[in-house]
């Protein structure tokens, strides 16, 4: 189904329907046009941007708070307009104080995403899997959430509150924060680096809004949160699962393998052709909507049926 045929339903409305539905929301992390279109092609109902993936791929730097608001919003705008499924965006710490959240939310909303994640880390933030994180006063974060809710023009625009407090204040501290953030208006709660099934269940039971969990599929060494089957996460009440590292990690390994083959051909002087490791040009054109463009091109380049 094309983007045009689904444009009648707003991405925010569709995201709200998914949150209110019975099925677990599985949201792979995306960072460019290829990845977001692949997620849609493979039948996933939603996607989320990966802040680390964007920072790494667009700027070539670690996820340490270097990427600014404009860089993030523009990347999200391109991805959101490329697909018909709703895309949630990682808005880091919100790029400022609670008053700044008014501007931040409006920019992301205008970019066409279905909602944003904001986190309670001290700025400049860092990836949730890194050491040395710190968090702001929970009351400041609650005010950010209130401002974000007030700023949105569309009431369906989703505000997800992320807390990184487990690494600093433990599970009890993170739950206190999550409860306050829900009271401030957050639509979803996410506790990063949560320790496992028991902690996830405790969070689900403690907060009155749906819970989102990150799964680190794609992290070769042991992820911060132990890997749990998606079916089990659904059983204990998790509403949404994000997989932010899966696609960037897969792409990096595939590119490394392709470059290794190229180096081999340089050393041997032989052609080393491995189509089994590469997408075909027709597949790429199909993914990017080339056939649809050609139909439009043929229609508008036809001058014979114009009435003069």
Q: What is the pLDDT of residue 220?
A: 59
* E strands in the chain: 25-30, 47-49, 87-90, 115-119, 158-163, 188-191, 211-214, 240-243
Q: Which helix (H) or strand (E) holds 253?
A: helix 246-268
Structural domains in the chain, CATH included, are 4-244 (3.20.20.60), 253-301 (no CATH)
Nearest 10 degrees: Cα torsion 181, 187, 192, 194? 90
Q: Cα separation of 138 and 178, whole Å?
A: 9
Q: What is the pLDDT of residue 127?
A: 67
- The two tokens of residue 55 are 């920072």
The residues near 244 (Cβ < 8 Å, ≥ 6 apart) are: 29, 48, 50, 51, 52, 53, 90, 214
Q: What is the pLDDT of residue 221?
A: 59
Question: pTM to 2 decimals?
Answer: 0.92
DSSP annotation of 275 reads G
- The two tokens of residue 278 are 């590469």
| Residue pLDDT tens, the chain, 308 long | 444 444 579 999 999 999 999 999 999 999 999 999 999 999 999 999 999 999 999 999 988 889 999 999 999 999 999 999 999 999 999 999 999 999 999 999 999 999 999 999 998 776 656 566 789 999 999 999 999 999 999 999 999 999 999 989 999 999 999 999 999 999 999 999 999 999 999 999 999 999 999 998 756 555 578 899 999 999 999 999 999 999 999 999 999 999 999 999 999 999 888 899 999 999 999 999 999 999 999 989 988 878 77
Q: What is the pLDDT of residue 2?
A: 45
Q: What is the pLDDT of residue 129?
A: 61
Q: What is the pLDDT of residue 128?
A: 58
How long, in residues, is the chain? 308
DSSP annotation of 135 reads B
């Amino acid at each position: 189904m094309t983007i045009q045929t689904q444009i009648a339903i707003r991405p925010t409305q569709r995201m709200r329907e998914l949150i209110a539905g019975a099925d677990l929301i599985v949201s792979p992390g995306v960072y460019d046009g290829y990845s977001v279109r692949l997620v849609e092609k493979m039948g996933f109902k939603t996607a989320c941007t990966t802040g680390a993936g964007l920072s790494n791929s667009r700027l070539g730097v670690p996820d340490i708070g270097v990427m600014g608001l404009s860089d993030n919003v523009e990347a999200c705008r391109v991805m959101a307009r490329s697909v018909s499924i709703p895309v949630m965006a990682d808005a880091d710490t919100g790029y400022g104080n609670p008053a700044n959240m008014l501007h931040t939310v409006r920019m992301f909303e205008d970019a066409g995403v279905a909602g944003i994640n904001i986190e309670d880390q001290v700025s400049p933030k860092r990836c949730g899997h890194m050491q040395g994180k710190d968090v702001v006063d929970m009351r400041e974060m609650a005010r950010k959430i209130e401002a974000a809710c007030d700023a949105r023009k569309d009431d369906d625009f989703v505000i997800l509150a992320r807390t990184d407090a487990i690494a600093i204040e433990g599970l009890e501290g993170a739950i206190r924060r999550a409860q306050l953030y829900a009271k401030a208006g957050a639509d979803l709660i996410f506790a990063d680096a949560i320790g496992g099934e028991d902690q996830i269940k405790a969070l689900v039971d403690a907060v009155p809004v749906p819970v989102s969990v990150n799964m680190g599929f794609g992290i070769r060494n042991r992820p911060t949160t132990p890997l749990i089957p998606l079916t089990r996460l659904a059983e204990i009440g998790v509403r949404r699962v994000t997989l932010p590292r899966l696609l960037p990690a897969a792409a990096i390994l595939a590119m490394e393998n392709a470059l290794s083959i190229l180096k081999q051909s340089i050393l041997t002087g032989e052609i080393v052709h491995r189509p089994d490791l590469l997408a075909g040009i027709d597949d790429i054109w199909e993914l990017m909507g080339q056939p649809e463009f050609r139909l439009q091109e043929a229609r508008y380049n036809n001058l014979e049926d114009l009435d003069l």
